[in-house]
Amino acid sequence: MGEVVTGGQRWLRVPVGPEASQWSTRAGTARVLFVVHNVTSATRLLDVLPLFDADPRVQCLATCTGSSPYLHGVPELLADAGLPVLPWEQAVETPVDLAVSASYGGELHLIRGKLAVLSHGIGYNKRLPTPDTGHRTPDTGHRTPDTGHRTPDTGRWEPGSERDAERAPVFGLSPEWLLRDGVPIATTTVLSHPEQLTRLRHACPPAARTAVLAGDPCFDRLLAALPHRDSFRRALGVSAGQRLVVVNSTWGPRSLFGDADDVLPRLLESITRELPVDAYRRCAVLHPNIWHGHGPGQVRAWLRRAEQAGLTVVPPLGPWRQVLAAADAVIGDHGSVTYYAAAIGTPVLLGAFPEADLDPASPVAELGRTAPRLRPYEPLLPQLDELLARHHPDRHAQLTALASSSPGSSAALLRRTFYGLMGLAEPSAPAYLPRLLDPTYGDLPSDIPPASPLLAPLQVLTHLRDHRPAAPPEIAVTRHADGLGAAAHPAPAPSPEPIASPAATPTTSQAPAHTALPTASHPGAHTAVHEDIPDVTRLALADLVLHDSRPEPAAWTREAMRRHRHCAMAACVTAPDTCLVRLPDGRLVTLTAAPGPDDHRDLCDPAVYASALYAWYERGKPVEELLDGLVVVTAGTSHHLQVSITPPR
């Protein structure tokens, strides 16, 4: 795309600009301008971009208003979209047939063409006050008479008593955002449900005349994804018997991630230490404004310890909808993602919910009246058990009904609206929104990172189950990160043949005070530690030293036993279903899980199998008795192992 420097900016010459007709290959196309404010609004625009696919009559363009304080990540997102990007100053000088925005931020009235405005979440719910500074709205980007500064487009305000919030107008439904000089800024205001139209008519009658009901494309893509839930769970590494718990937060100080009530530190501690790592898979989905406001590096630093204990942090452009479709429970707040979770029937526990910040007539306010609340100073695991036990799929049926008046139809309704505004006949092919694909493990910023090895010390509780004749032995294994969960939640009732406490286990006096180590009350306990643990002093606790994906696993196990003479065994995960373990006498034992009844590969962390072997060996049982097979039980699920032994060399 040709560019020219104008006023210090690089303006496009192709496919728009004074000379565009000379240089463009398709010079007579209709122009559709996507107006991006920040990454959050851009994700909704990317939802509807495919509605213009396969139409050579249309040229799509993009611009950024520059009015948001959350501009980090926008250039990369637009580059990935591959559209010509106009500087805002060029965009407002360029005639377009249609502009599509997912926010009222910026100087939208300057756009030279018809404007359609979508919501970038689940409708309009939040109250955002309008400072008395002489400009139209806190989020337009107009230059104020007194300061000349651009105003932010988020509506965040600092004074903030709850009384202030209750007096504030509702963002997206009030004249402060919708009108300029008494005239609607948008040609078309796209709403997803008649309840929004009712509130709009009450709050801003002139803008109500521009309203069109066209459903919710984000919700439709979620609904279409639900039949693929099992596939998503496998792609996310959720094994049989595991529950996927998603922690979700919108932005702002009164969100779950915010510091107004500061619930987050205790919640992270609870999900890290209370939930057995093999019974619960944990993911975090955070609003892009958190990532791009505080910086991705800072956000990951805040979550580092939880990640080391098994929390998967979904990138800001990652497949959060697939994670939501796969979830067993969501701990969230007043953001749209938590509402979407409830609307698709997922149990929701509210960790933060500032009622005063919301329009009491909005659907999200109704979520606050119906969903149970997290009790942050009580143990988390019983609350999750209670949430799941009491949940009924139709519990939030009213919220589902309020999400969209036309579920599954937004593609057709939106395309009809857009093409009608442009004065073009629709393409003959049916309109559709692309299906959400399985989360992938790759190198793109939007990909889910592969499941990281557990880099927190693991206290492992084991017991040997009754050995039935002609059946392979069964060993139950429960692992807790950082050792504290096991103290709060005891192991299953001991079998008739409890496994004795390993002699190599360090005493409590040798360990940091915050680590719960094996004691007489946990006779089948040992400590497993990954060799790459950031705090290397914790390796002194290890009975079992772990690693994964070493190029020469046998050699590594030998060297690890030499480096860590206090440990009894070293184990290396060599494949997603296989672990290689070196015994104290030098023998190597390979443990491989058989496929499940559905022929899918077993997804259990193979390091669990090493802990089962450790327990068997320390009990004094001959390893040769396992050659006919071993059954390891985690989270109520049986994993059938094939066992082979290699003599020492």
**pLDDT digits over 51-86, tens only?**
999 999 999 999 999 888 888 888 888 888 899 999
Q: What single string gives the DSSP state of each residue in 282-294?
A: EEEEE-HHHHHHH
Nearest to 287 by CA among 75, 95, 43, 466: 43
> What is the percent of the chain where pLDDT is above 90?
69
Whole-number Å distance between alpha carbons of 433 and 410: 9
pLDDT band for position 453 (cuts 50, 70, 90): confident
Instruction: Write the burial class of residue 159 (CB in 10 Å: 0-12 exposed, 13-18 middle, 19+ buried).
Output: exposed
pLDDT at 367 over 70: yes
Bridge partners of 281? 244
pTM of the model: 0.87
**pLDDT digits over 289-318, tens only?**
999 999 999 999 999 999 999 999 999 888
Whole-number Å distance between alpha carbons of 23 and 1: 10
pLDDT band for position 549 (cuts 50, 70, 90): confident
Range scoring the smallest mean pLDDT among 303-312, 321-330, 499-508, 613-622: 499-508
Instruction: Write the burial class of residue 189 (CB in 10 Å: 0-12 exposed, 13-18 middle, 19+ buried).
Output: buried
Q: What is the mean pLDDT of residues 225-241?
A: 93
Whole-number Å distance between alpha carbons of 634 and 613: 14
Query: Do 395 and 370 form a contact (C-beta atoms < 8 A)?
Result: yes
Whole-number Å distance between alpha carbons of 349 and 336: 14
Q: Is 148 left (phi over 0), alpha (psi -120 to 50) or beta?
A: left
Task: Work out the number of other CB atoms within 10 angstroms of the CB of residue 507.
Answer: 9
Nearest to 292 by CA among 97, 54, 73: 73
b/e map 278-308, b = 16+ CB within 10 Å: bbbbbbbbbbbbbbbbbebeebeebbebbbb
Strands 115-117 and 98-101: parallel
For residue 170, which phi and psi values (nearest 5 degrees)? Answer: -85, 125
Nearest to 626 by CA among 592, 601, 599: 592
Query: Do 405 and 197 form a contact (C-beta atoms < 8 A)?
Result: no
Residue 645 to residues 329, 473, 591: CA-CA distances in angstroms? 41, 17, 9
Query: Do 244 and 600 form a contact (C-beta atoms < 8 A)?
Result: no
Q: Residue 148: its pLDDT value, please?
A: 36
The structure tokens 């690089």 sit at 10
Three-state secondary structure call for residue 455: coil
Query: What does the angle CA 347 – CA 348 – CA 349 come to, to the nearest 5 degrees?
Result: 130
pLDDT at 267 over 60: yes
Nearest to 33 by CA among 67, 74, 84, 109: 84
Query: Do 227 and 54 form a contact (C-beta atoms < 8 A)?
Result: no
pLDDT at 351 over 90: yes
3-state secondary structure 44-68: HHHHHHHHHCCCCCEEEEEEECCCC
Query: Do 109 and 180 form a contact (C-beta atoms < 8 A)?
Result: yes
Three-state secondary structure call for residue 508: helix
Q: Residue 442: its pLDDT value, please?
A: 60
The beta strands (E) that lie in 178-336 are given as 179-180, 183-184, 188-191, 211-213, 243-249, 280-286, 311-313, 329-332
Bridge partners of 590? 580, 644
pLDDT band for position 514 (cuts 50, 70, 90): very low
Mean pLDDT of the chain: 86
Query: Do 447 and 315 form a contact (C-beta atoms < 8 A)?
Result: yes
Query: Do 354 and 334 form a contact (C-beta atoms < 8 A)?
Result: yes
Whole-number Å distance between alpha carbons of 649 and 555: 11
pLDDT band for position 1 (cuts 50, 70, 90): low
Q: Residue 486: its pLDDT value, please?
A: 42
Query: Do 579 and 614 form a contact (C-beta atoms < 8 A)?
Result: no
**pLDDT digits over 34-48, tens only?**
999 988 888 889 999
Dig out the tokens for 485 from the structure. Answer: 């969960």
Contacts by residues 437-441 (CB-CB < 8 Å, ≥ 24 positions apart): 437/319, 437/322, 438/228, 438/231, 438/232, 438/234, 438/235, 438/322, 439/232, 439/235, 439/236, 439/318, 439/319, 439/322, 439/323, 440/235
pLDDT at 137 over 50: no
| Contact partners, residue 592, CB within 8 Å, separation at least 6 | 575, 577, 578, 641, 642
